[in-house]
């Protein structure tokens, strides 16, 4: 293919892991849109917005934490609101500082679940409880997938659960905030992780009862990256070495998945989740043999005005009832098959610049962008803390009135 040839030529020209200033034209998004001064200004405004949103959200979590000792169901409902606020924060910061095209398609298993609204937004109709898996291209994959939860009907950006590296727990504000959001921290040692993972999954599959006696489970999107880390040169070498050692076929564009954690999750959640949704993610313009982290850093994406020209999603759905869960070996073989299919999808993308478009009940691809439905929605991030402030102000006035009285 001509596209493949061009990509290979770019790879041959670009022998360093980081594009140098003299070779800006090789960046998938072209030259930096903003000079040094404007980049610094964008970095400053971005930092102010992001950190103020983080701090406000965390303070709101702390103020609501006593609910845990009063009513646990009310507590988790409250924390889901703070999680939705964080989803709004990441969505708006991308909308304002790093706008990009989102191109979506899928196979027949997601037919009628992807549509476009009259104002150009995508609307998904995925179920309220599912396990979501994806290949891990760059550090911000989770950000775009969290936005998918926002686009869902009903909205699910307040009910996403992510498995994180344990080291992230100690980052000020972000680590404690993620603990309030019931995210799952893993040490990558299954002997250590198994009890804590079982504890968290036990809460996610817990049954609740309505006043009329009807049983239900809370909404949940459990996001997993089976590759364990984002794609990189070092990761690909380790994956190739493992493939050779274990007698597996190596992949061209992805790393071999680790099945142990996902197998444990699915066996624990079996009977409470009907589907696994698989998203294959690709970023426009990354040359063959190169990696997204070489180009789409925080600085280039949000400060220099060089986000991906497009983020591409290809969706598939698997019924949990059809996934072999009797033994870990059978499940591992299934996972490797799924990843081999994803690798073929990535090869098609590399050759043509598009994932397949047929099968999802839509004509061609849905093209949209990361944005909120209403321009004022970012205000919600600060509304809860503002409500606390008004409440405390009223209480203080009442107490002063009583003291004078």
The neighbour count for residue 185, using CB atoms within 10 Å, is 19
| Cα 281-283-285 angle, rounded to 5 deg | 150
For 339, phi then psi, to 5°, come to: -70, -30
State the Cα–Cα distance between residues 163 and 179, nearest whole angstrom.
11
Is the pLDDT assigned to residue 23 strictly greater than 50?
Answer: no
Q: Give me the pLDDT at residue 323, please.
A: 97
- Report yes or no on whether pTM surpasses 0.85: yes
State the Cα–Cα distance between residues 79 and 283, nearest whole angstrom.
32
Q: Give me the pLDDT at residue 12, please.
A: 37
Q: Which pair of structure tokens corresponds to residue 387?
A: 């409500």
Q: What is the DSSP letter of 296?
A: -
The neighbour count for residue 178, using CB atoms within 10 Å, is 20
How far, CA to CA in Å, does 268 sit from each of 26, 130, 167, 336?
A: 46, 13, 25, 21
Percent of the chain predicted with pLDDT > 70: 92
Residue 302 in contact with residue 242, Cβ under 8 Å? Answer: no
- Dihedral over Cα of 273, 278, 283, 289: its sign: positive
- Tens digit of each residue's pLDDT (9 = 90 or more) over 124-154: 999 999 999 999 999 889 999 999 999 999 9
Per-residue pLDDT band for 170 (boundaries 50, 70, 90) equals: confident
Q: What is the mean pLDDT of the chain?
A: 88
Residue 78 in contact with residue 67, Cβ under 8 Å? Answer: yes
Is the pLDDT assigned to residue 46 strictly greater than 70?
Answer: yes
Mean pLDDT, residues 63-81: 93
Q: Give me the pLDDT at residue 1, please.
A: 40
Residue 273: strand pairing partners: 270
Name the E strands within 100-201. 101-106, 114-116, 122-124, 129-134, 160-165, 184-186
Of the CA atoms within 13 Å of residue 82, those in its CB half-sphere come to 29
Nearest to 39 by CA among 21, 25, 52, 22: 21
């Amino acid at each position: 293919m001509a596209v493949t040839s061009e990509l290979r030529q770019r790879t041959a020209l670009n022998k360093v892991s980081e594009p140098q200033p003299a070779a800006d034209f090789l960046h998938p998004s072209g030259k930096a849109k903003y000079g040094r001064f404007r980049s610094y200004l964008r970095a400053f405004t971005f930092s102010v917005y992001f950190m103020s949103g983080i701090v406000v959200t965390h303070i709101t979590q702390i103020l609501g934490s006593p609910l845990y000792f009063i009513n646990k169901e009310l507590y988790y409902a409250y924390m889901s609101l703070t999680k939705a606020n964080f989803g709004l924060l990441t969505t708006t910061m991308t909308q304002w500082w790093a706008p990009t095209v989102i191109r979506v398609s899928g196979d027949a298993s997601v037919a009628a679940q992807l549509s476009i609204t009259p104002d150009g937004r995508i609307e998904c109709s995925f179920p309220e409880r599912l396990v979501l898996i994806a290949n891990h291209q760059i550090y911000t994959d989770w950000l775009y997938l969290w936005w998918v939860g926002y686009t869902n009907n009903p909205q699910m950006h307040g009910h996403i659960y992510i498995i994180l590296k344990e080291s992230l727990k100690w980052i000020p504000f972000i680590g404690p905030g993620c603990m309030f959001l019931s995210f799952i921290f893993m040490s990558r040692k299954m002997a250590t992780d198994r009890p804590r993972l079982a504890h968290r999954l036990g809460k996610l599959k817990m049954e609740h009862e309505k006043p009329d006696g009807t049983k239900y489970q809370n909404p949940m999107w459990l996001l997993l990256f089976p590759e364990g880390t984002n794609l990189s040169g070092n990761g690909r070498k380790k994956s190739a070495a493992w493939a050779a050692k274990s007698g597996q076929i190596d992949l061209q564009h992805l790393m071999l998945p680790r099945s142990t954690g996902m197998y444990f999750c699915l066996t624990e959640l079996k009977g409470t989740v009907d589907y696994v949704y698989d998203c294959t993610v690709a970023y426009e313009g990354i040359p063959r043999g190169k990696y997204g982290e070489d180009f789409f850093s925080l600085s280039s994406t949000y400060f220099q005005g060089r986000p991906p020209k497009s983020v591409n999603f290809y969706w598939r759905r698997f019924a949990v009832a059809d996934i072999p869960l009797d033994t870990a070996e059978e499940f591992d073989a299934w996972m490797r098959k799924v990843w081999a299919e994803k690798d073929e999808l990535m090869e098609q993308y590399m050759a043509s610049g598009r994932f397949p478009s047929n099968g999802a009940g839509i004509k061609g691809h849905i093209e949209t962008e990361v944005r909120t439905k209403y321009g004022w929605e970012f205000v919600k991030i600060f509304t809860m803390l503002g409500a606390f402030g008004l409440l405390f102000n009223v209480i203080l006035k009442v107490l002063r009135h009583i003291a004078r009285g």
